[in-house]
Each structure stands twice: as C-alpha cells, then as structure tokens.
Structure 1
Amino acid sequence: MTPDDRRQGLARWAEAQLGAAGLELAPASNDASFRRYWRLWHGERSLIAMDAPPEKEDSARFVRIAEMLRAIGLDVPEILAADLEQGFLLISDLGRASYLDVLDEASVGRLYGEALDALVVLQARAPRTGLPPYDEALLRRELGIFTEWLLDGLLGRSAAEIEGGPLAAVWDHLVANALEQPRVCVHRDFHSRNLMASAPGPGILDFQDAVIGPVTYDLVSLLRDCYIAWPPERVEEWARGYLDRAQQAGILRPGDEDRFTRWMDLMGIQRHLKAAGIFARLKLRDARPGYLGDIPRTLGYVMTVAPAYPELAPLVDLVGEQVLPACNGLIARQKTD
C-alpha cells in the first residue's frame, strides 16, 4: 500500500470514528520514524491522526505506554480511538509548538524547569515492570549504529576494523558506565523536538521506545540536545538542579553526586554516537539529507566532553581528526550540489 493509499484509508477510518465526513488531514510533524502524523479538525477541536504501518511500528506498545504515563500525571496524548491491525490511531493534539520552536533566553529557564520536573515524575513514579531492559546487548547495538552507518556507510571506513582496534576498549567503558547507574524508566528521546510547549507542560511525545535503564540518559538527551546547544555553564547549572530534585525524590542517593558527572558525561557520549549514526542512516537509507547537518553539533559534544577522560583518547582522535572533518566536507559539498 502506498503512502497516499494509507493516508486515504486513515481519513476514512477517522471519519468513521468521529461520525464526520469530508475531514481534511494536514501534515502535523516531520517524524524520523515510519510513523506519520496528520492534524484534523472536528468541530472546534483539533486532533491528531497517526499512521503507524503495523509491519514497521508497534502501535500496541504506543497505546500501552501512553496510558501508563497519563496514569502518573504526565501530559502525553490521550488515545481516543485505535485500530491496531491497520496501525491507525486518533489521539489528542498537544499543540503546534515544540520546545525547539520557542526556546530562547527568555523562555528556556521556565521550559527546562518544567521538563526537569516532568523527568523526575517519570523516573520516580513510572512502573518498572513490563518494559524491556536497556541492557548490554542494546547498548552495543546502538553503538553499532555509529560504526555501521556513519563510519562504514557514510564515510567508507571499515566498521569491523575500527571496532576491533582501540575503540573496543572505549565501547567497554561506555557500556560499563551505563550499566552501573541506578535504573529508572527511560523515555529514550527526551529532547526539544519531542517536548511540546503546551499547558500543563511539557507535552511529551515519541515515548513508545521506553525502557528501564540508566538514570542520566534522558537528562543528557535534554541538556545536550542534538538539535540545540547551550553554554556548558548553563548545562551544569541545570544538571545540578536535576541532581537536587532526584535526591529529594529518592531517585539518587546521598553520595551519588561523586559519580554523577561521569555518569552523565559518558552516557551522553554513548547517546551522541548513536544519534550521529542515526542521522547518517536517515540520509543514506531514508533519503533525508537534512539530518546530515545535525551530525557536527552532535559529535561536537563528544569533542567537548571526552578529552577529560583519558580512556576515551582513541575516540577523541578518531572523531576529531577523521570523522568531523569528513562530515563537514560532505555537508559543504551537499550545499553546493
């Protein structure tokens, strides 16, 4: 079935659910997955129709986690109707403005404060049963996205050769750091494009891949965002604010602050390597070249943080001397094509 066929089928299904005719669906977001979102109007109310091809996406998981998060008081879409066999959902609309759309010096303090409050609720109150573990196998698969799609696919380097050299020890350090942290519910994409500036805020999207894993993963996703960067001193201030909240909520214990910075720094490096690999995959596999421009910012965090850790020196050398220059060259050529 073509995308247009699915759009027409989704429209007919939504009309049947709402008892309406002639609904018009307008694109509502540019998602990096196989899901597509459409905005429609029913009377005075805007709703979102979601198309998640069942062979590509698990809508049952989306519904289950949405209901779980709403039950603990987080602002996620309400499931109004669902046809899991077709992969069609009708959900409430959290608005048009993401954090990325509205973040500036005037708004960032309030918005990040609200996001950190929501993160603590997620970590302190979300059930820890029924979600898969963010275990060693998953961590290593994610690091493999960097080597397979960015090093090998985008830059033509042999992933097997690189992973078998000094980088293998770096991977071991990153995985061990993630596994030693306290375990909480992890959203896995808690950043400015998935947080909506809605009331009560923030509206939270793209939660269907939630797992039980490292306490600093979502924090570093927010504060060292792949799509927007803030001065290191601001990031440190927000991180301290989170640490206070987490200790008061019992998520972290007294004494964890001694390891907290390392936990966050190395967790961020693992995430940013994965994200850079995903951006390369979006360009190569999905013909979405715009994501190439997000790679330098994402790997820039690696170059800012990793030099403080001598055990990560092979990664610093690889990214700084080879990967970033090559990616910047590809971006420059893409702009002239």
Structure 2
Amino acid sequence: MTDPASDPQRHALRQHWARIQLGDDSASIERASVDAGFRSYWRVHSRGRSHILMDSPPALEDVRPWLRMRELLATHALRVPAVLAQDLDAGLLLLEDLGGPTLAKVLDERNADDWFGRAIDQLITLQSIPVPEGFGQFGEALLQRDAGLFEEWFLQRHLDLRLDCGAVEGLQLAQRRLMDNALGQAQLLTHRDFMPRNLMPVVDGPAVLDFQDLVRGPIAYDPVSLFKDAFLSWPLARVDDWLAQYHARARAAGLPVPERRIFLRDADWMGIQRHVKCLGIFSRLRYRDGKGHYLDDVPRFIGYLEEVLPRYPQLDGLRRLLDEQVKPALLERAEPLAMAR
C-alpha cells in the first residue's frame, strides 16, 4: 500500500486546503511527526506563525472519533489541542501548534519530578471524567486480542518459536491471571497510551495527544503507561515512588484506588500485560506494515519484564518462557546482525 503521506496528490490537497483556511497563498507545509497509524501531521508556516495540519485519509482512518474524544476531554478542562478548522469529508483538521518536541524529548533527571507531577494532574483530571453511555470497554475481548498479538507476532513471527505443551500452559495461565487482575480493577476513563511521547510540554499542560482510542478500562493502566513508557525508561525505585505519589493524589481526589500495596501490584501486573502487548504490536508493525524501527525498543520491554516478574511467583510461567526461550532466541537473532556489521 502506498503511504498516503507521500502521495503527491494528497500533498497538493493538504497544501491547497491549508492555504484556503489561512487565506495565505504562500503558506508552506512540512512533515511534523510520524504516526504508527495512517494519520500524518504537518507544520504549516504562514505569515510568521505556525499551525498543525492533521491528515486522516477517510478511506483509511476516520477523524471523527478523534474529534468526539477531543470534545469530551476539552469539556472537562483537560488540556488538548484546539481545533481551528476542519473538513471531515477530506479528513483534514487545522490545529493549534503546541510546539516542537514532545515531553519524551524534554524529560531529564532534573525536571522529571516536576513534569511527572504535572502529568499526574492531567491524568487525574482525565480519570475523573464520567464515562459516557455506550463507551468502548477494555474488557475480555481486548485483553484476549492483546495476548494473541504477543503469541502470533512476537513469539511465532519474530522469534520463530514453537512452544511445547508445558510452555503454552504456563504462558496461558500467566496471561489469564493478568487478564483477571485487569478486569477486577476499578474501571474508569482510560487513554491507553498516556505516555510522555503523547504529552506536550506547554505552560498550561502538559497537553494530551493521541486520545482517539479512549475506553473504559482499569485504573492502573494509564499510571503505569506514564512511568514505564514504551520509549523511555527510569530506575524501578523511582517508578515505584512516582506510582506511590499518583496513588496518594488519586485517593485525595476521590478516585477508586485500592490500598497502596494492592495498587502497586495492580500497576506492576498492568505493566506486564502492556509490555507483552507492545512486543506483539511492534512486531506486527515490522512484518505487516514495514515499520521496523519499533523493534529497536524490544530490549526495553524485556528489561521491564525482567525487573518485575521475579516479584510475582504467580506469573512464573511467563518468567520461565522469558528466561528459557525468549532471551536465547533474541540472542541468536542478535549474533548474525553483529557479524554482518
């Protein structure tokens, strides 16, 4: 499939539409960021100012869910991008420009406590929003799908592993326990990718991006996504401390968090479920969609699993699979690559 972002006709449409909206025949556009889906983002320069153009080709990605979720969040005072113009038939939106780097590029040892504190403010605002009637549910079906992604795309397709009956049974038992834990948590509004890469470091923020897949889901999902990011890692002790800070502030805000010990376990287990899912999704992006750079972060996910799984003997089947099959298979893949270099 041709990438719509590189299609000359689509590019001409983007530029023509942006110039009409801004009343500037000399407005220029350039690629602003790359998305894992079919959306693309463009920075529009006009008369010394800049805006963001979101392009969602209607045949590939409907922009209306994004607009509905943006309205829900903005109505409840969450900081999200302002919409300046829209053409639903063409799949084009003109948005305010929130600046250059995401929070992931700005965070460092000195400012992480401050920015994460502000991100917790936004997260608690999001989680306090009543979930509308008929909202999607992060339930059994999605959890089963995530488990299948790990097996089909990471274990089988990427690592070419064929598990024996004992390994399959151990993995399925661990996955069942992770799913039961997620389903047993308090369920509220959940972003599912609330991480620094989807936050913008603006003065009244951070502003929240990529929210079109909001669902009703487990309370620990977004906090662990924030501190155990798919693209940015922190020492485990520091993550535990941030999670404890979130817990105290969520309880003070009246959110239905359990006692601290239970919440920290729930966050660990939710993180394991998420990291296993990401291994499957990133493998699928490589082999189905030709986006191989996501697999560069496989060692990060393996590291997350290695540091947390030993805490929980109930998930020993997954730990054994990691130690006995996944890590050796990854090593075998790495050796030919190293020799080729």
What TM-score do the two structures reach when normalised by structure 1? 0.93
The residue identity in structure 1 corresponding to 2:112 is V
Alpha-carbon distance, 1:196 to partner: 1.2
TM-superposed deviation, 1:83: 1.9
2:223 matched residue in structure 1: 219
Distance 1:199 1:96, change over 3 A: same
Residue aligning to 1:240: 244
Separation in 1, partners of 2:184, 2:87: 40
* Cα separation, 2, equivalents of 1:299 and 1:185: 28
Per-residue deviation, residues 126-175 of structure 1 (Å, max 9, x unmatched): 54435301111011101211111111111122489788532111111011
Counterpart in the other structure of 1:257: 260
Range 4-13 or range 177-186, more displaced: 4-13
C-alpha contact 2:244 2:264 (8 A) present in aligned 1: no
Secondary structure of the residue aligned to 2:197 is coil
- Of all paired residues, the percent bearing the same amino acid is 41
TM-score, normalized by length of structure 2? 0.92
2: CA distance, partners of 1:41 / 1:248:
44
Rate the CA distance shift 1:140–1:87 in 2: closer, same or farther, 3 A: same
- The worse-fitting range, judged by mean Cα deviation, of 217-226 and 120-129 is 120-129
CA-to-aligned-CA distance 1:90-136 (integer Å, 9 cap, x gap): 11111112111111111111111011111011001354435301111
Counterparts of 1:47-66 in structure 2, within 5 Å, are 47-66=51-70
Q: Distance in 1 between matches of 2:296 and 2:236?
A: 21
- Indicate the SS of the match to 1:80: strand
Contact 1:128 1:212 (8 Å CA) reproduced: no
Q: Which amino acid aligns with 2:279?
A: A
User: Aligned-pair RMSD on alpha carbons?
Assistant: 2.0
Amino acid at match of 1:170: A
| Contact 2:79-2:207 within 8 A present in 1 as well | yes
CA contact (8 A) 1:97 1:198 kept: no
Distance 1:244 1:94 in 2: 30
Aligned to 1:322: 325
Q: Describe the SS at the equivalent of 1:282.
A: helix
Residue aligning to 2:82: 78
| Counterpart Cα distance in 2 of 1:279 and 1:50 | 23
- Any stretches of 5+ residues in structure 1 without a counterpart? none
In the other structure, the counterpart of 1:197 is 201
Q: In the TM superposition, what whole-angstrom CA distance separates every residue of 1:14-33 from its partner, at most 9, and x where no partner exists?
A: 22222221322111112222
On the 8 A contact 2:28/2:46 being kept in 1, the answer is no
- Given candidates 135, 139, 148, the residue that maps to 1:131 is 135
**SS at 1:25's partner residue?**
strand
Q: Displacement of 1:74 after TM fit?
A: 1.5
Distance 1:276 1:83 in 2: 36
CA–CA distance in structure 1, aligned partners of residues 333 and 196 of structure 2: 26
The more displaced of 239-248 and 42-51 is 42-51
Stretches of structure 2 that go unaligned for 5 or more consecutive residues are: none
